[in-house]
Every structure is written in structure tokens, then in C-alpha cells.
Chain A
Amino acid sequence: MSLKKVLSMFLVAGVVTFGTISCKSKISDADLKTKVETAVSASPAVLVDVKDGVVTLTGTVGSEDERMALESSAKAADTKGVKSVVNNITVKAPIEINTNDADLTAKIVDATKDFPTVKATVVGGVITVTGTLEQARVMVLKQSLDALNPKKVDMSALVVK
């Protein structure tokens, strides 16, 4: 084999290798998945799946804003590699909190009926408990009031016997 032939073979091999690499500038699904996962890592409840450059996000978040922000982050993770984002994230219903004082006040009448030594008042969804109560019944009272979904139950002024 002449030197010329060997050189030309190297040249051909080089071109082929180079050409393959440049065509392969397309990122693999696995690498893309890692990139997107890093981009959305602030929301651990969100799962990432990638197929042929199409990113699918699943999971639940607390708000629509967060849901849309995650979609943007996934796209921005690799603007060339990410073909599209399928956003299957669902928004969790917000936690129910009752701040209707009139409604809470009416319900407290029933909730504290068996606690005659205790007085409970409501301002802005916060239930404030005063009076005295035996130790054994404190949990039942707290359960009874928490079941009304108030913003807060303040029992710091309750005297526990």
C-alpha cells in the first residue's frame, strides 16, 4: 500500500468521521432529558420524559404560573434540541381556607358547644381561644376548630388545667 493511498484513506476516514459528528449535532434524548431535568429541578414533583426531541412534562404544581414557567424553562433548556413541549402538568387545587368570619362564627357555636369553659372568637379567619380547659380535651377542641379550615387557631391564651 503506497503512502499516498494510506493518506487518502485517512483523509476519507477523517471526512466521514467529521461528517457524522456534524450531522450528530442533534442532542440525544437522554442528554436532553438530563438538561431539562436540571432546568425544572426547582419543582421536584415534575417528571420529564423525552422522545425524539419532544419533551413531556407530568406532575402537579401549585399554580398555573408555575405550570407555564416550567414549560418555558423546559424549552429554554436547549432551544435547538427541544422540538416541542407537551405540558401535562396539572395544577393542584389550592388549599381550602375559610376566611368568612360570619360563617366561621356560626360553625364555632357547634364546634365549641361541649366546651362551656372556652370562648372562641373570629377575626379575619383567625380563631382565638380563651378560657380554661382540662389537658385531656385540648386535642379534641383543636381538631374541632381545625376541621372548620380557619386561617389559624390561636390557643396561646387558653389556660390548660
Chain B
Amino acid sequence: MDKSLIVKNLNKSFNNLNVFHGISFEVKPGTIVNLSGPNGSGKTTLMRIISSQILDYEGEVAIGDKNIIDFDKEIFSIIYYVAPYSSLYEHLTLSENINFFIALNNLKDKNQKNLLIKRFKLESHLSRKIHELSDGTRKKVSILILFLINPDFCILDEPYTYLDEESSLVLNELIYDYQKQGKSFLITDNSLASKNLNFNGVVEL
């Protein structure tokens, strides 16, 4: 993937209340972009539009010259959104959740899975159910699944929330590793934990 993510004149309103208006920016391959703005400025809404979870908006979101609406379901392998809350099956174990998403996304690289589990120090939690885990550990699992899927554009909504300092550093290292492979990141962070991350650009809402 050597095409940029292009957002052009994006408008979004809920019940005639304008969330944002005329947003335009570009995320080039292999870059890390910070999406910043005060609470309620529409950061999450923008991220969900980019990741095809919200479909009623004005303007254009494209990869290269192809609008994301024209992609079929494969768009979810190209752009992946990690929500600030847990999007895992609460009654499955950590290991079962990871294996489920691996199977669902037709992933075959088992080494990568083991490597990421080790980096996030999740070995001792593998047989525990998600609802028994702390918010920080759940967050690590969500991020781990993102890196396993390995999309071209990673949309991270408050990824550092609940993460301890060590895990935040691991996340930063992973972001740099994947950036070197040409992957792009769009990140929001109100916790300032990302201050050590070298952003290539900032989008202000």
C-alpha cells in the first residue's frame, strides 16, 4: 500500500447540530498523525467515519483516488479502528478471543501472535476470561489484535488510557516498528502519554 488516506471537506452533524465542518487532511504511508482537539470536538466521530463505522456524512474519505465507500468489506483489513473501550467477547478467555479474531481475519502468522503476547506480558492471563481482566489488560489485547491484523492505516482512539508506563512504551515501540514497514497511524490522546511519540503531523479539530 503506497497510497495516502485523504479526507476532503468532511462535515458531520447530529440532529442539525454541527460536530465539525470542512475537515481536510492527508495521512501519508508510514506516518504518525496526531488528531487533537477538546472534548466533544468530534475526534471519535471522525475516526469512526474514516473506519467506515459511520456512513452518513458529507464530504469524502478516500485511499488514493478510491473512495472508501467503493471498497467492499476488505476496507476493514486496510483501515482498523481500536475503540477506547473493550470490543472483546467478555465470556471468552484472552487466548480464545485472540484465536477467534485470527481465524476471522484469516491470519496465519503464529509467531507474530506469540511475540506480541510476550511483548505485552500477557502469558499469565491467557486462560483468564476477559471480564476477569483489568481494563489495562483488556486494552493490551485490543491493541495486540490490531497489530496482528496489521492494517495499512491504524486508527487508535485513546490507546494509552488504562495502560501503565511500561505498556505505553511497548506500544510506542510497536508503532515505530510498524511505521518502518510503511504503516500509518492516526492517534488521539488526551492523557499526554503519547508525548514521547514523534508525530509527523497534527490535525486540529
A and B from one assembly? no
